[in-house]
Amino acid sequence: MRNMAIEVEDESDSTLLSQPPSANSPAFKNAMAAVLVGVIMSTVVGVTVYQSTRPANSLAMRGARDGLEAQVLSEKSEYLISLGLGSVCRMSPEDTNLVPKKAKVIHGISSEKCQKECEAEAECRAMEYRNSEQRCEKWYTPARWHKNLVEHKTVNGNPDFHCLVKSGRCETLKLHKKVLEGEMDELLDHIKNNCMEGPSGDKYNMCSSQYAQSMLNTNKRLCEAMMSSCAEEVQCE
């Protein structure tokens, strides 16, 4: 079984712009890239490239890859995929229940232990963890949707949540990819309109380079998982 540790993003931010260019300036994208991503990769360039290269319907597949049937993952080969900083699990877009009926809540354990336990149980389909409470939720019902509390603050306090879902079901992965695409579009608009004074030191802030990098990493993880789980060919940006 593949055991993927919950990622800890680099919290370093690059220096502030001394004279921020106008949002209409030709240098805007390059300047924002230097501010918001620094040494890892440029946030604005990365998100913009993601937007410009993804297909018009990014969930549309382009036929069977090389005529080969896709590998169907067994339960033993499934692993948990992180949906990034501030993510919370949901059963569907309409789901307003914070915890589903088929779930087990455990307090006082580490995120690593929560993840290990969920991956070891075939019936566990997702997990949600809140750092400030050391609260672990193991979901025994599919989490086919998620919400990002950094962009949509529906819970009081610090949005230090983390949702991870099992990798084996193509339809579930495609739904989470759809949610993520909307979140990345919102992030780019927010950066252009609100982040010209430089990056935020709070990683749970939309002007944080760490948050932007987390979104790009999540996009990559989901796309790579879809390449293994979906019968159709998947194009990763």
Of 24-33, 120-129, 169-178, 209-218, least confident by mean pLDDT is: 24-33
Give the separation between CA 175 and CA 178, rounded to whole angstroms: 5
pLDDT classification of 98: cutoffs 50, 70, 90: confident
Q: What Å distances lie between residue 127 and 90, 163, 184, CA to CA?
A: 10, 6, 23
The pLDDT > 70 percentage for the chain reads: 68
Beta-carbon-side half-sphere exposure of residue 149 (alpha carbons within 13 Å): 21
Greatest mean pLDDT among 34-43, 66-75, 206-215:
206-215
**Position with higher pLDDT, 170 vs 236:** 170
For residue 237, what pLDDT is reported? 60
**Position with higher pLDDT, 190 vs 30:** 190
Average pLDDT, the chain: 76
The structure tokens listed for 174 are 């495609």
For tokens 């805007």, name the residue: 28
Give the global pTM.
0.71
Question: Could you report the per-residue pLDDT of 44-83, keeping only the tens digit for each?
Answer: 444 444 444 454 444 333 333 333 333 333 444 789 999 9
Looking at the chain, list the stretches that DSSP marks H as alpha helix, in order from N- to C-terminal side: 28-36, 43-53, 111-120, 170-194, 209-229
pLDDT classification of 155: cutoffs 50, 70, 90: confident
Q: What is the mean pLDDT of residues 104-124?
A: 96
